[in-house]
Amino acid sequence: MRILGGISRRRQSKSPATARPLGASGKLALLSETDIFRDLGPRDMAEIERMTAMTTCRRGKVFYTPGETGEVLFVLKHGRVNLFRINPDGKKLVLASVDAGTVFGEMSLVGQGMHDTFAEASEECTLCVMSRSDVEHLLVNKPQVALRFLELLANRLSEVETRLETVAFKSVPARLAAEILHRAEGAPDGRVDGVSHQDLADAVGSYRETVTRILNEFRRDGLIELDRLSIGIKDAPGLKALAES
């Protein structure tokens, strides 16, 4: 059985301890782009800038571990982050894969628990880190931010609910087809790169061998083409049909 230690080894950056802090230079520019802050004026943004730290994480870095990390909230500026849990056998399940603009973290203030949840950069990431008190302050004094936050949370809720339904109702091939299509969104060439079968298995809640087998079936059926760490979509409608179960 693949265990927790193995995961860290497999992907975790070998670079020095923690994420690298960013110079004050590009901080403001990055912050202004964020969804959650978009309603604020320049003066507010400057204030936020003073109270946040910005860091980057390279692909694969697990930058949040329950217990170890304090009570902070992350705002993802660039890149993509996987929030996942590990079960007692060491099996990993990706709860959510969040995009730039999303807020996440351990915040009892907002009840936003990351109980047992890890966060890892699935791509090169730029993150903004806020302390509990900063967030409290911000939410109380800037209602617009609270509203944006609300919106984000509601979207994540909706997403997880759909995921729950998917895991409960659909077969692994269906889930896999959906996952591939989802990951291909945004890539105009209809190609998913840098994703191992193991990654897909973690995402759909299955196993590496099963994913390999099913991907090969997909290829046999002319739905996709396969290369090392790369999947090319050849028949998107076909995949979509499969994804509907």
Partner DNA sequence: GCGCCTTGGTGATCAAGATCACATCCGGGC
Partner DNA sequence: GCCCGGATGTGATCTTGATCACCAAGGCGC
Min CB(27)–a copy of itself separation in Å: 26
- The yes or no reply on residue 117 touching a copy of itself (CB under 8 A) is yes
**How far, rounded to the nearest angstrom, does the alpha carbon of residue 244 sit from its chain's CA centroid?**
23
Min CB(167)–DNA separation in Å: 10
Give 129's DSSP letter: E
The residue behind tokens 């705002």 is 75
Which of 32, 69, 34, 26 shows the shortest CA–CA distance to 47? 32
Q: Find which of a copy of itself, DNA, none residue 173 binds, CB within 5 to 8 Å per kind.
A: DNA
Q: Find which of DNA, a copy of itself, none residue 188 binds, CB within 5 to 8 Å per kind.
A: none
Give 109's DSSP letter: T
- The yes or no reply on residue 153 touching a copy of itself (CB under 8 A) is yes
Q: Find which of DNA, a copy of itself, none residue 197 binds, CB within 5 to 8 Å per kind.
A: DNA
Min CB(158)–DNA separation in Å: 24
- The yes or no reply on residue 133 touching a copy of itself (CB under 8 A) is no
- Angstrom distances, CA of residue 7 to CA of 84, 86, 137, 202: 12, 10, 37, 11
Q: Which stretch binds a copy of itself (CB under 8 A): 67-75, 109-117, 213-221, 225-233?
A: 109-117
- In the sheet where 92-98 sits, what is the strand order? 62-64, 118-121, 81-86, 92-98
Min CB(19)–DNA separation in Å: 21
| Rounded Cα–Cα distance for residues 63 and 70 (Å) | 12
Give contact residues for DNA (rule: CB under 7 A): 1, 9-10, 91, 171-173, 196-198, 205-210, 212-213, 215-216, 226, 228-229
| Rounded Cα–Cα distance for residues 113 and 93 (Å) | 17
Q: Find which of DNA, a copy of itself, none residue 18 binds, CB within 5 to 8 Å per kind.
A: none
Tell me whether residue 112 or residue 212 sits nearer to DNA (CB atom). Answer: 212
Tell me whether residue 30 or residue 81 sits nearer to a copy of itself (CB atom). Answer: 81
Please, are residues 96 and 156 in contact by the beta-carbon 8 Å criterion? yes
**How far, rounded to the nearest angstrom, does the alpha carbon of residue 73 sit from its chain's CA centroid?**
14
- The yes or no reply on residue 205 touching a copy of itself (CB under 8 A) is yes
Q: Find which of DNA, a copy of itself, none residue 155 binds, CB within 5 to 8 Å per kind.
A: a copy of itself
Does residue 112 come out as left (phi exceeding 0), alpha (psi in the -120 to 50 range) or beta?
Answer: beta
- Compute how many residues bind a copy of itself; rule: CB under 8 A: 41
The residue behind tokens 């694969």 is 60
Q: How many CB atoms lie within 10 A of CB 158?
A: 10
Rule CB under 8 A: which residues touch a copy of itself?
85, 87-88, 91, 93, 95-96, 107, 110-113, 115, 117, 139-140, 143, 146-147, 149-158, 160-165, 167-169, 205, 244-245
